[in-house]
Amino acid sequence: MADIARLYSDRAGKMRKSVIRELLRVTQDPEIISFAGGLPNPDSFPVEDLEGVIKDVMHNHGKTALQYGTTQGLKELREALAERCHKDGIDATADDVIITSGSQQALDTVGKVFINPGDISLVGLPTYLGGINAFRSYEGNLTGIPLDEEGMRMDVLEDTIKSLQKKDIVPKFIYVVPTFQNPAGVVMPESRRKQLIDIANQYDLVIVEDDPYGKLRYDIDHIKPIKAFDDEGRVIYMSTFSKILSPGFRLAWTVSTGELTRKMIICKQALDLCTNTFTQFIATEFMRRGSLDLHIMKICEMYKPKRDIMMKAMKEHFPDGYTCYKPKGGMFAWVTLPEGIDTETMFLDAIKEKVAYVHGKAFHVDGGGERSMRLNFSYSSNEQIEEGMKRLASVVRHKLEKREVVL
């Protein structure tokens, strides 16, 4: 056999499989109730509405919608998104918006623009695994900043920046998911968002604000994105259609300013030439009809009871000693179990009981998180959530009993 691996770049050689992708393969067994993936509920997809939209797109724009587009993305879609930005308090024009092939591509583009091998960037402890993978694929080093119930801790952030400064190291960016954080579910309040901007201004740093879940609010008022407080063009904002319309569209957007936007477009060019033109037309028409906000309301109506069922079942069935912050929106609950439990090894027991989650270590760049796990509540049916939580509770109970024997 040809020994091709010897020719791999150092970069590719160091790349590892995504833990979540691997888990998702295991959880494809239909008997397994999966709280593992970050999947929207397929019953939320507006199939019928989209059938009509697609017909119109083909009829009115067929020849352009099936053609290549510009790397920056369809102007009408960028204009519509800039208008939505205004409603959120972000001062942006269509020129500041780039349409990307999912936020995942936006994260990859950020890595490509900023990271040289060995560069340091700052991320939450825990943080989104896809962000970790994207930044590490450019051989960046990630330093974790712990979260509390209000998101990334600003005292630790500032201390870390100061201690790096003493070694003449400037972190390339601070990556945050401030609203219904993946995986922890927490929301950074406005006061802390302003503090973060002040720190970035003071130390002349870039913030990457990743906001896929901000619109999935169940019992909290709208909160302005960090980008809304950015007077100096140092925040790269990104959001996606994946959780509010369809992840299969592979459609997301970034908002940034001036020269940085041009650099990001150049870096995206080699990734895909252009984002899927057809789905850009579909999303534009869906928004033009005023259907997106109505659809988001329907999703929230569907997910809020799921969140409640999961929290209630956890209270009823889980043994004492766990902690879980009740998420006010988004798709995830983050559970931390008592001392002595390792959720990575417990995963095999869970699979035997036909229930799945993602273990906490996957989201920690410092190797921590062994007692934690992320549970998704959007994907499963209400009945599956009830049943799955019972199964998971019994797995945890057994693990705790065994732990007591060992102690």
Ligand X SMILES: Cc1ncc(COP(=O)(O)O)c(C=O)c1O
Q: Is 252 a residue that touches ligand X (CB under 6 A)?
A: yes
Q: Is 151 a residue that touches ligand X (CB under 6 A)?
A: no
Name the segment binding ligand X (CB under 6 A); options: 2-10, 80-88, 239-247, 255-263: 239-247
Selected from 40, 111, 130, 360, the binder of ligand X by CB under 6 A is 130
Return the SS3 of 356.
strand
What's the token pair of residue 263? Answer: 């650099």
Q: Is 124 a residue that touches ligand X (CB under 6 A)?
A: no
Q: State the CB neighbour count (10 A cutoff) for residue 193.
A: 26
Instruction: Give how many residues touch ligand X by CB under 6 A.
Output: 14
CB of 124 to ligand X, least distance (A): 10
Q: Is 372 a residue that touches ligand X (CB under 6 A)?
A: no
Q: Between residues 140 and 313, which has the closer beta carbon with respect to ligand X?
A: 140
Q: Between residues 22 and 155, which has the closer beta carbon with respect to ligand X?
A: 22
CA 312, distance to chain mean position in Å, is: 25
Give me the helices (H) in 331-380, please.
343-352
Q: Is 286 a residue that touches ligand X (CB under 6 A)?
A: no
Q: Is 214 a residue that touches ligand X (CB under 6 A)?
A: no
Q: Is 380 a residue that touches ligand X (CB under 6 A)?
A: no
Q: Between residues 27 and 103, which has the closer beta carbon with respect to ligand X?
A: 103
Distances (CA, A) of 286 to 14, 22, 57, 252: 41, 34, 10, 15
Q: Is 38 a residue that touches ligand X (CB under 6 A)?
A: yes
Rounded CA-CA distance 337/180 in Å is 21
DSSP letter at 70?
-
Selected from 82, 113, 177, 333, the binder of ligand X by CB under 6 A is 177
Q: Is 108 a residue that touches ligand X (CB under 6 A)?
A: no
What's the token pair of residue 218? Answer: 């169940």
What's the token pair of residue 198? Answer: 């002040």
CB of 115 to ligand X, least distance (A): 17
Q: Is 111 a residue that touches ligand X (CB under 6 A)?
A: no
What's the token pair of residue 253? Answer: 């957007």
Q: Is 212 a residue that touches ligand X (CB under 6 A)?
A: yes
Which residue has the CB atom at the shortest distance from ligand X? 102
Name the segment binding ligand X (CB under 6 A); options: 43-51, 98-106, 300-308, 386-394: 98-106
The amino acid at residue 156 is V
Q: Between residues 33 and 252, which has the closer beta carbon with respect to ligand X?
A: 252
CB of 131 to ligand X, least distance (A): 6
Binding residues for ligand X, rule: CB under 6 A, are 38, 102-104, 128, 130, 177, 182, 210, 212, 240, 242, 247, 252
